[in-house]
Structure 1
């Protein structure tokens, strides 16, 4: 297998420029890719996965010391004990499977106690690893970052124990149960979960709760037991169809509502169910239209599955994974007026939206990017359709 190393020096010119030659990528270039060695053509993962190859990854997180990937199609989580600097670098730790070559739901039939089923959201907070084990309808927590494969979690949320995996814990929807939890975040002192299958977002004051404790905040539904799309009504400022990803800071909560093709925000942070204050991707809160054909633009989305806000140092940057348009949109600052994005990645213009630009897979192309994490001059994108994670750097 030929190994291709991608570095910024290989990309002396930005991918996207407008008619006047202005840089539409904002100086972002691909730096390292992990997973399938896809440049020149889509490489499907092998039947037996490795520590280096992935299948449809949907979540990614990094900090100064770790990179964590939800290798969703292989029903496992991969951990690197440093941010990788080499292409196709193998992971140091595998969770959810007994080793680096096993795949299958619930650890290929070994059981849910230590297995996973489509893990998606991943996060490290105050030294603890948090994983949204979506199709097991639960959140798993490790009190320390695991250093060996197959390490069992220390805490489960959304289920009574580590063996039960029914939607809403086999009962009626309540403030302590979950159905397809995809996104997780800690913003301010609140632990947030995008409880996607229940079409709502849950918040626990004081951070990670004990098992069984009901959420203090339920956004998107009129009560704790309701779970209809958009509250059983037309789309509005206080409803969701598929809330999927969560980001923000102490003064702002952002939710990627993928099914309504929009990002909604609350400022200040909501203390209970109330209408959103900020809207991106739609002309107004009563709209949820999709524009699947024809030219796109920088302020319309198609199934935005991820949002990531970086506010380190006071200079805010916002990124939205515009999944079905096969691109990432970025803003300098948080737009409060619906203005178009400042930059676009993986497409030659704001109007284009093709999978891998309707061509061969390249280091700077994307196919259905799901998860994303933005921090400073680095951006990690879970390039799900290309079975890889791409680490970008702003030069």
Structure 2
């Protein structure tokens, strides 16, 4: 019985082994026979049947700027050659590969602003699985055009120069509107391309721009989407052009250029008129007739010699000088923003400066503001000259060695100035008092000695510092007392004041006469009987002048030296090119008006 049991166990165990072997054999049949007789091999890769998907940035329906890019981000690697685009936006863009699953669509120039643009995208992956077409829509934001640049960038515009305006995008030619005083002259318009079609406009004179100050240009235009440029205004100054010893075209106060007659009538002046004339915006001319105690009014600037005045301010007659009189011996006249300022050398009620709001045709006028004579430490003196610019009043006080400034035209009589140049307080009035201790010292950039005249356009400032034989310039308007000048002319530095022989750099001042259009400077060098012209606003000390009027070169100084032999010959008469003690300068449009005081006349020089 024991053997039978053992054999049964053995049989059962053997049976289990046989079953396992059979199972292994069957498995070999199914998994080991493919691909060869060896029965081995690797599992096959699964087949890719999934198409790529796409994410767009920005998403469809978004608003985009004209220069924005579109990012195509696929779910798997997609080659540039396997992507195709169609639609309006595709025509304006360029597609490129960023990495294996990302592409970017960049505008060739810009997307067209204000339009709704479509884009259809088709793509397949490396296995050839086609993505369902994706259709996207975008609205391109409208960005208003702008002026990128205007040339010349500076204020100066030469008489034959063109103005070039570059816009930020293509402009609608028909929408262009231009205006301004510059365009009183004849001009041509030319459109061209810088980056885009019709993005550059050239405005050129047919012949030449008219010389003169305060020329303006306003631009209005739309782009192709109908959007407006912001309001644009640009101001230019066309220089006045002169050469050495140029002749005047017109003389006022005399019948001809060789006469020096004095009289009180409609045509002549008294002896030695002082100070600068003034011209209103409408072209009405006001002349100071110092000895005859009157201001002459001409309804327009004379174009021929010996033209009679139309009226005299507050005078009943041009022949006897009687009538209402607020002051006598006018020394300077200034006009700004509809207001006329007159400085009188002597007058009643201790007043020196009178400002008029309106000037009637018949010359009858009442001053709207009166300013006191200058006073310091018990002494009272009249101002030697005064002017108004951008609402500020400037008054040169020769005897007090200072220039008084009112920031706004005073609303009440006798208002004290807001600040001073040449001194730190109203109680300081000593010439060249650099330490402000009441003692005369060397001049400095802050001091003055007998300032004769002042000019400003509200931004720059110039003062003739007569006893120091120099002109001081401020490149920007000072705002507090005793401010130092930036530039000195006539001297090599701020501490020198010697009188020197005439040259391109030296000055021998005694009197009035300084004017600028903001880009050029004109100075009456009285003792040298000449007017010096700097064709650029000077930027360095002791800068040389470019042009001289009244003399044939910079080394001569004799008055009325018509034959330019260096001396005033006995009996030598003045001419259209000579000067004698010039004492005032102003300009209007293309005309320079010089007070030729020693010859009892005003000369009008026409710019070339």
TM-score, L = length of structure 2: 0.53
Equivalent position of 1:31 in the other structure: 249
Residues 73-82 or 57-66, more deviating: 57-66
In the alignment, is residue 99 of structure 1 matched against residue 308 of structure 2? no
Alpha-carbon RMSD: 2.4
Aligned residues: 344
Structure number with higher relative contact order (C-alpha < 8 Å, ≥ 6 residues apart): 1
Equivalent position of 1:361 in the other structure: 574
Cα deviation for residue 390 of structure 1 reads 0.4
SS in 2 for 1:198: coil
Q: Which runs of 5+ in 2 are unaligned?
A: 1-240, 434-438, 562-567
In the alignment, is residue 53 of structure 1 matched against residue 53 of structure 2? no
In the alignment, is residue 308 of structure 1 matched against residue 515 of structure 2? yes
Q: Select 2:378's aligned residue among 147, 172, 175.
A: 172
SS in 1 for 2:394: strand
Cα distance in 2, alignment partners of residues 95 and 383 from structure 1: 22
Cα deviation for residue 71 of structure 1 reads 0.8
In the alignment, is residue 132 of structure 1 matched against residue 132 of structure 2? no
Runs of 4+ in 1 over 6 A off after TM superposition: none
SS in 2 for 1:259: helix
Q: 1:135 to 1:366 in 2, by over 3 A?
A: same
Equivalent position of 1:266 in the other structure: 474
Equivalent position of 2:327 in the other structure: 116
SS in 2 for 1:385: helix
SS in 1 for 2:513: strand
TM-score, L = length of structure 1: 0.80
Q: 1:129 to 1:187 in 2, by over 3 A?
A: closer
SS in 1 for 2:333: strand
Equivalent position of 1:162 in the other structure: none
Q: 1:271 to 1:24 in 2, by over 3 A?
A: closer
In the alignment, is residue 153 of structure 1 matched against residue 367 of structure 2? yes
Cα deviation for residue 184 of structure 1 reads 2.0
Contact 1:36 1:43 in 2 (8 A): yes
In the alignment, is residue 256 of structure 1 matched against residue 467 of structure 2? no
Residues 300-309 or 208-217, more deviating: 208-217
Residues 327-336 or 297-306, more deviating: 297-306
In the alignment, is residue 222 of structure 1 matched against residue 437 of structure 2? no
Equivalent position of 1:372 in the other structure: 585
Q: 1:91 to 1:309 in 2, by over 3 A?
A: same
Cα distance in 1, alignment partners of residues 409 and 539 from structure 2: 28
Cα deviation for residue 267 of structure 1 reads 2.7
Cα distance in 2, alignment partners of residues 332 and 346 from structure 1: 17
Please say which structure displays the higher CA radius of gyration: 2
Cα distance in 1, alignment partners of residues 479 and 362 from structure 2: 39
Q: Which runs of 5+ in 1 are unaligned?
A: 1-22, 160-166
Contact 1:319 1:374 in 2 (8 A): no
In the alignment, is residue 298 of structure 1 matched against residue 513 of structure 2? no
User: What does 1:171-190 correspond to in 2, within 5 Å?
Assistant: 172=378, 179-190=381-392
Cα deviation for residue 90 of structure 1 reads 1.1
